[in-house]
Structure 1
Amino acid sequence: MPQAGRGSEPRWPAPRMAALLWALLLLVLEAGPGQQQACLPLCSEGRCLTVNWAGLDFDSAAVACRRRGGELLTLQAQSSHQLLAQLAPVLSGSFWMGLRLPAGSCSDPGEPLRGYRWTSSSANETFNSSWVQWAAGAAVCSPSCVALAQYQVWTERPCSDRPDGFLCRTMDSNACWEQEHFFNDPIRCDDAPCQQQCADAEGGVRCSCFHGYVPDSGDPHRCRLHCAQQSCPAVCAAGACRCADGFLLEGQQCVDIDECHMGQCDQSCLNTFGSFLCSCRRGFLLTGQVRCVAVAAGEVVTPADRDSTLRAASAPSGPFLWVWVGATVVLVAAVFLLRVYVVRRQKRRERSSDQQVSEELLK
């Protein structure tokens, strides 16, 4: 096969070139709109409520709450009512609460809670249920549990169902984040598998983070800045200061960005520490994470369409316009470079073919 001369250009295999171009594109796209977070904390007066997006049956949801130092939501304090009142207008989907029908009984619309009992032994028996709106339907029998649906509607469902998620009550503002992760790997801490703190354990290692950090959801070996309140001290080094996502640097303090005051959502908006939640009124569907589009009369909205989305923001910019412009530029450049590569390769083949013909004629 003829070899390229000194002046010829290096030959990159087509698969390698394509992989490089796609890597450049994905690098830009990663800076786009935030992904939905699996857990949202809301706190007031030392009490917190967490919204967990995970399709679990009732018993599994209760175990998940206890594992994080809490329990399925029971409305036993005024602060719990206030937190739920803030959340309900933007809560889309169906989420388990701490209400279960006693074994061997059936629901009774004439009773305050239709005969359901709070799963917490400390729940207030004098709970005022006058504001509760139950979904229409015939009486059901155990095993049945209660889920809170959109527009503050309480629904009776088999406890084996797997709704969109569950609501936990806790005293820990960091309950959404696992503080320690175990990795079952044949490595030790001497191999530096953890970014911050490491502890050898039987069969692997345990990685954890310093105060003010939480494990990164994308790679729990690593840690990221975290603030579970209105403001936190910035992390400064070598004259530069950093804040957690969704916080703005003011001096040496990181202050939560109120995305709702910035008009990030078309309709309903709930600001949280470092994030925000968008949702829509009846008759509208949330699309593109922040926009509400009218639903045609008679159109069926599936649970997958009702995607109230929690987003993280690292700066008070617009709807990430420049990120997508950059992504488009990279994509166009990738197509152009790939076309140039193909054309040049074709020309090299033509020159090689002409050279072989010339050599045959000289013979």
Structure 2
Amino acid sequence: MLGKMPLMVLLALLGGLQESSGAQQEMLCTPNACFVLHMEPVRFHKAQNRCEDDGGYLLTVRASDEQEALLSLLSLIEKQQGEPALRFWIGLKLSRGECVRPDRTLRGFRWISGGEDSQFSNWKREPVSTCTEERCVTVDYSFSGQEQLRWTPAGCRMKASYVCKFYFQGMCEALTLLGPGKIIYEAVFSKHPLKSELQLLPFGTRARIFCGAQELATSLCRSKDGAYSWTDPGPFCKPGSRSCARSNGGCEHECRQEGEAVRCSCREGYELDGDGFSCRREDLCRAAACQHRCVTEETGFSCKCPSGFQLKENRRDCSDVDECREQACGDHGCINTDGGYRCECRPGYLLSHGECRDVDECESSPCEQRCTNNMGSFSCSCSEGFRYIPDVGEPRRCRLHCPHHKCPPICPGGPGGPCHCADGFLLNEGTCEDLDECTMDRCEQGCVNTYGSFMCFCRLGFVPKDEVKCTVAAGRDRSALVVVPTQEDPAVKGSSASAGPFLWIWVVAAVVLVASVFLIRLYVVHRQKRREESCSQQGAAPADHPDL
């Protein structure tokens, strides 16, 4: 079912106007204001000047009702080919020398039309902190129906469409023609004539009345005694004595004489216009039962649906298009809505102009040294002489690293300044040398030194406790040799470094050493038992042979 528009009086938008540049222009009027949408993209200050030259100002959105009025105007625009959204300037600006204020509703920006700061805002992205740059604001209108009219800070020199707003005290009803002629309405806010189909004209509108080819009179919409009326209310172009023999009686197509009057008619395919003399192409849409909009064509008419809908088989009614079936959100989540859809982005992506776009996490400097942005994520890396070691407390910290017994120090201030060594190394005569923690009795039983660290191990029958201590093992663990890499002492080392690339070489060496000691001990014990058995046998021999 087609969505309903906001409850407001739509007095104008009966078709597009054309600006002198050829760009489309649309107009919408409420009982006390008119909005003119200019599709031509221009810079902010040019848009501001054009609105002010016409007697209005660049659109402000001080409250939700003004936002609803703008949505009503934009909802009638046909989606441009290949354009997922339209972007417009609004009259909100941060002047150079003024600072962004995150604690305020408008973030320090001000409406160029003046007045008090409003308490309404609709920021899509928070403004970047600055006190030296001039910043302006655009709003985005998405044809998919999501993220509507969200405010985005932008440079004032970029180009966007714009909407001018004009306030009026009241309206006058359209003037009446009784004979052939035309009326040109000129509003104070537009250099271009208004459409003659308008039923109400804003205060200050000037009407030029033409009867035939001659301009007969002018009339002005004004206020008098609290009411709004024309200075010359008409009606105009009253018919007099006419003859089909003279200028076809004023008829555009066919003329039939009826006494002193004439009756005009039109050829097939045309119908008589409201002035009774002109002919226009027959409005086939008048009898059409189009659900949304009817368009007259050379061979007839056709029904049109708004963006997000498609014609049913009867070619008159509209049904919702399920954009999610067409993978409108790619591999992201998609929720179909009436006339549109809504994307639900995966982590690492942000919804922008109706599409999920990768977030460049590196802009927020999440890494200590180097950051590489990936689709939906990022990765950290370190400079030469440092190593990336994930840590629960500091998961993106880069630490000094040395994979050898000796390494040159890192001197941030250059020669002569303070220098630093990697964890587990000490500065000695301009060189970082590995500290042998095993000489400091760090382990309760066994210790193996590594580059930048050390390992503790326990003898057979013991298991590690608190990394550097050993306790008696229970059950099957009594026959196992346990080697435990230990964390560095923060009193000796600046951060937690790994044991180095040769960690497992030391582990294997320790295992082999302990296993060798164990085998040698078994061999010695076995030899000792055999010797004791041999001695006991020799001592028992004289008892078997008594003295003769």
Q: Which has the larger radius of gyration?
A: 2
Fold equivalence (TM over 0.5): no
Q: Greater share of strand residues, 1 or 2?
A: 2
- Give the TM-score, by structure 2 length: 0.22
Q: Greater share of helix residues, 1 or 2?
A: 1
Tell which has more relative contact order, 1 or 2 (C-alpha 8 A, sep 6+).
Answer: 1
- Give the TM-score, by structure 1 length: 0.32
